[in-house]
Amino acid sequence: MQPQAELLVDARHGTGESPVWHVGEQALYWVDIPARALWRWDSASGQLSSWLAPEMLACIAWGGRAGRWIAGMESGIFELQIQGAALQTKLLAPVAHPSQNMRFNDGRCDRQGRLWAGTMHMNMGLASTAGALYRYDATGLHKVIDGLITSNGLGFSPDGRVMYLSDSHPTVQSIWTFDYDTDSGTPSNRRLFVDMNAYPGRPDGAAVDADGCYWICGNDAGLIHRFTPAGKLDRSLAVPVKKPAMCAFGGAGLDTLFVTSIRPGGDVDLSDQPLAGSVFALRPGVRGLPEPAFV
């Protein structure tokens, strides 16, 4: 029997993204991009907290010390400090976007604690290839891969030697793997891992489990797919919304798969998915790995 998705937070986010399980706090953090909001759910009490940022928050990574987070936003990489009800932000590295109306999107740390984050044009209808993938570490912000439309699906194998990247734009819908030099933080030998045109949904945010399998949100299909390291579809789990955005392992045993989602705006009929934009939890029967902190 397939595990059923449990409603964790009835939040109705415009774009719920970047779930990160904080092991020390036993809490889930995530963002709502258009609302410029950082959210936290405490697993012991069920308490919800949120903080507003001055720009759209797209991706977050735990910063390794109390109250500190690293975030990809509109104008660059920021440090976030939670201070009671306030969120203090500090620009760490500005980004030189090649055009207007761009922001960071999907991102996470590699196993060594370097932040990887991609950029995109906010008007997806343009299919602009101005997006790029950046690495941020102690040496600064570096553009590593360009020519992307909607950068997504970042993940790293358990040993850190394989990097995953997707482009979720409807004209691409591809997931790639790279050999990854863990010493220098350099990806190489890019190759197609999965052509998502052959499967339901566009490849959005992702997570890697302790077995080395790759979980990818099938945006528009209401599915979370698990692929083996060889690129074979292992299973697909359903959520009660059409647009799952990103997934992350967490919980006391790292055996819960948390899934954020998107609530379409405008005149879209949501009668068949009233919970669109909410956060869900699945128990897929496998464990994840602790999310690395930024160093």
Are 260 and 34 in contact by the 8 Å Cβ rule? The answer is: no
For the record, the structure tokens of 246 come out as: 């990103």
Annotated catalytic residue within 137, 204, 220, 272: 204
Q: Could you confirm whether 110 is annotated as catalytic?
A: no
Are 59 and 76 in contact by the 8 Å Cβ rule? The answer is: no
- What residue has token string 């990160």? 20
Residues belonging to the active site? 204
